[in-house]
Amino acid sequence: MELNLQQLLAHVRKDSGVQSKLALQPVLDRFSDSHPNGDAVHPNGDDAAVIATDSGFNLFAMEGFIPEFVAHDPWFAGWCGVMVNCSDIAAMGGKPVAVTNAIWAQNDASLQLLMQGIADAAAAYGVPVVGGHTCQNTSSDQLSVAIVGQAQHVLSSFAAKPGDVLLCAVDLRGQYQAPFLNWNAATTAPPGQLQQDIALLPEVAAMAGVTGAKDISQAGLLGTATMFMDCSRRGVDIQLEAIPKPAAVSWEGWLCSFPSFGYLISCEPHCVEAVLALFQQRDIDAAVIGEINDSSSVTVSYQQQQAEFWNLIQQAYLVPVPDNRSSDQLSKIHEYDNKECSYA
C-alpha cells in the first residue's frame, strides 16, 4: 500500500507527545527573563540549563514522569529517570556528573522498585546518586529526577542556521517497552556501552562546524525537529526515507517513538562525514535526514510527495511569540567558528 504523506503527518501531529509540548509556551514565557546575568546565548528552553563558569559550563536538567507510566512499571520508570537526564546532558555536549531524585511511593514494594531502577541505571551510566527526597504512603507513585553535568563546548537547539544539514543518530539495537512507544536500546546493552555511547556527544560538541543538537524526546523525531527549528527560528525539509528506522516498525509508530538513544544534530556540510563516523564506529545508525533553511517551516519529503508538518510562523511550537530577544541577542546566539571541521 502506497504511503500517503499527508495522512502520516496528520497522524503524528495528533500524537499526545507532540501536542503536550504546546503547553510549554506559557512556561517559557513566564521565565524568559530569569536567566542569570541575562544570558541571551543560553536561554531557557534547551535540553538543559547552562551556567557559564571560569572553567567551562555547568549543566542542569530535570525530568518528571506521568503517574500512569510510573505505576505501570516502577523499575523502568526509575531507570528512565536517570537515562533521559543523561541524554539531556549529552545533547548539550556535556558529561553527566551526579543525579538526585524525588520519589512518592504508595507502599514499600513500589519504593523498592523505583529505587532499584534508579540505582541500576546510575551504575550503567556511571553517574552517582548524591541525594534526594522520599515520601512514603502517598496516594500515588510519582517520580522526578534531576541531574548536573559539565561541558567545555555547549550544543544548543537555538543555534542551527540556514545551509546546515540535519543529522539523526539513533540506536536501533532495541525493542519497544510495552505498552508505550518507548524504544528501549538501553536496559539490555552490554556493560560499558551506554557510558561510551553518550560520551560521543561531547566529542561532537568539540568539532568546529557543529552548530546545534537536541535529543529526540517524547514528541518523537518530527516533534523534536519542530522544537529545534522553533528555538533556532529556522525551517527544515526532512527526507523521510533517510531517517534511520527499525525495518519491522511502521512510520506511524516510529515517528511517535521515544528512543533511549536518539539525537538530532545540525552541522555545516563539510562536517558530515566526521560526525557520522563517530556514531557509526559505535554501531549507532546515523544519517543525514534534511537541510536547514530560513523558512520557519518543517516539511517532509517522500518520493514525489512533500507536505508541511508544522508552520512556525502560523503557530509557534515551543518558543513564545513574539520573540522578545533583541537582534543583538540573536546575533550572539548565531555566532559561529568557521574553522575547518576538527576537534577544537
Answer yes or no: is pLDDT of 336 > 50: no
CATH of the domain at 227: 3.90.650.10
Q: What is the rounded distance in angstroms from the CA atom of residue 62 to the CA atom of residue 130?
A: 15
Bridge partners of residue 221, in order along the sequence: none
Are 167 and 146 in the same domain?
Answer: no
Question: Which has the higher per-residue pLDDT, 37 or 201?
Answer: 201
Angle at alpha carbon of residue 334, lines to 331 and 337, rounded to 5°: 120
Q: What is the rounded distance in angstroms from the CA atom of residue 153 to the CA atom of residue 343?
A: 11
Domain limits at 303?
A: 5-22+156-333
Residue 125 lies in a domain: yes
Are 207 and 329 in the same domain?
Answer: yes
Confidence band (pLDDT; 50, 70, 90) for 330?
very low
pLDDT for res 301: 98
Are 61 and 115 in the same domain?
Answer: yes
Residue 65 lies in a domain: yes
pLDDT for res 26: 72
Q: Average per-residue pLDDT in the chain?
A: 91
Answer yes or no: is pLDDT of 44 > 90: no
Average pLDDT of the segment spanning 205-215: 97
Are 191 and 308 in the same domain?
Answer: yes
Number of domains making up the chain: 2
Residue 30 lies in a domain: no
Average pLDDT of the segment spanning 239-250: 98
pLDDT for res 35: 58
Confidence band (pLDDT; 50, 70, 90) for 324?
very low
Are 182 and 307 in the same domain?
Answer: yes
Give the end of a domain, one of 151, 185, 205.
Answer: 151
Are 93 and 163 in the same domain?
Answer: no
CB 256 within 8 A of CB 183: no
Are 161 and 284 in the same domain?
Answer: yes
Are 175 and 53 in the same domain?
Answer: no
Are 13 and 124 in the same domain?
Answer: no
CB 148 within 8 A of CB 159: no
Query: What stretch of H or E contains 169?
Result: strand 165-170
Express each pLDDT in 295-317 by its tens digit: 999 999 999 999 999 999 999 88
CB 180 within 8 A of CB 69: yes
Give the end of a domain, one of 108, 131, 151.
Answer: 151
% residues pLDDT > 70 (the chain): 89
Average pLDDT of the segment spanning 90-97: 98
Q: What is the rounded distance in angstroms from the CA atom of residue 212 to the CA atom of residue 166?
A: 9
Are 131 and 277 in the same domain?
Answer: no
Express each pLDDT in 8-33 by its tens digit: 999 999 998 899 888 777 777 777 66
Average pLDDT of the segment spanning 246-274: 98
pLDDT for res 326: 40
Q: Note the pTM of the prediction, 2 decimals.
A: 0.91
Are 142 and 99 in the same domain?
Answer: yes
Are 201 and 318 in the same domain?
Answer: yes
